[in-house]
Chain A
Amino acid sequence: QKEVEQNSGPLSVPEGAIASLNCTYSDRGSQSFFWYRQYSGKSPELIMFIYSNGDKEDGRFTAQLNKASQYVSLLIRDSQPSDSATYLCAVINAGGTSYGKLTFGQGTILTVHP
């Protein structure tokens, strides 16, 4: 079982819709959760992080965390063509030999069509 799993997509949504990106993780000791956006040929760019159960909003982006279900999601409201990218979920474990290591999912390709 992969440590961090994402649906690879591609996820295609129309402009103006809500895009929902999902991620599950296997390590219950995971402490911090991150969403990165990566445009083709570019490096990952941090867009959201979340530590506590519940929702965290930043502009059009909302991260949701449910530690009991080991699930983290990213909602993008009013999706724009410029949101078309690969979205990477990443998880940090704060204990043991994995301390401080960021584990990435494979990424979900999002396409927003006009």
Chain B
Amino acid sequence: DVKVTQSSRYLVKRTGEKVFLECVQDMDHENMFWYRQDPGLGLRLIYFSYDVKMKEKGDIPEGYSVSREKKERFSLILESASTNQTSMYLCASSFLLVSLGQFFGPGTRLTVL
């Protein structure tokens, strides 16, 4: 079974802090994704990566950056956290970009005070 893990289930940070969310997958998947999910707005893609050191902006990249130094690890960085970044953050990975589905980690619920 595909296993995608995220570093924290719950996280509370203060406005202006730098926040790191980490995601690790154990299936040698090429592609990794970061989403946020908010009530009424659904799942929105922040960034994705189709190879080590490669990254592509999703639909809402503003205020975020990412890092992929190793194939199995994809990090989401909030350079200066703001209250409007309070959300559920979901990491996903996939083997093929367009054919097979994406597999999600358990999510990190981030609260920015």
Residues of A at under 8 Å CB distance from B? 31-32, 34, 36, 42-46, 49, 51, 88, 90, 92, 94, 99-102, 104-107
Contact = CB atoms under 8 A, between A and B. Distances in A.
Contacts of B90: 43-44
Contacts, number: 49
B43 A100 contact: no
A43 B106 contact: yes
A100 B100 contact: no
B42 A43 contact: no
26 contacts: A31-B98, A34-B101, A34-B102, A42-B107, A43-B90, A43-B106, A43-B107, A44-B104, A46-B101, A46-B102, A46-B103, A49-B100, A51-B99, A88-B43, A90-B101, A92-B97, A94-B98, A99-B97, A100-B31, A100-B50, A100-B97, A100-B98, A101-B48, A101-B58, A106-B40, A107-B42
B45 interface: yes
Interface of B: 31, 33, 40, 42-43, 45, 48, 50, 58-59, 90, 97-107
Interface of B is mostly: loop
Contacts of A51: 99
Contact of B105 (A32, A43, A104): A43
B48 A43 contact: no
Nearest to A34: B101
A26 to B, nearest CB: 15
B43 A43 contact: no
Given A42-B107, A101-B59, 5 more contacts: A31-B98, A32-B98, A36-B101, A43-B90, A90-B101
Given A45-B104, A107-B42, A32 B99 contact: yes
A106 B44 CA distance: 10
A26 B98 CA distance: 17
A45 B101 CA distance: 10
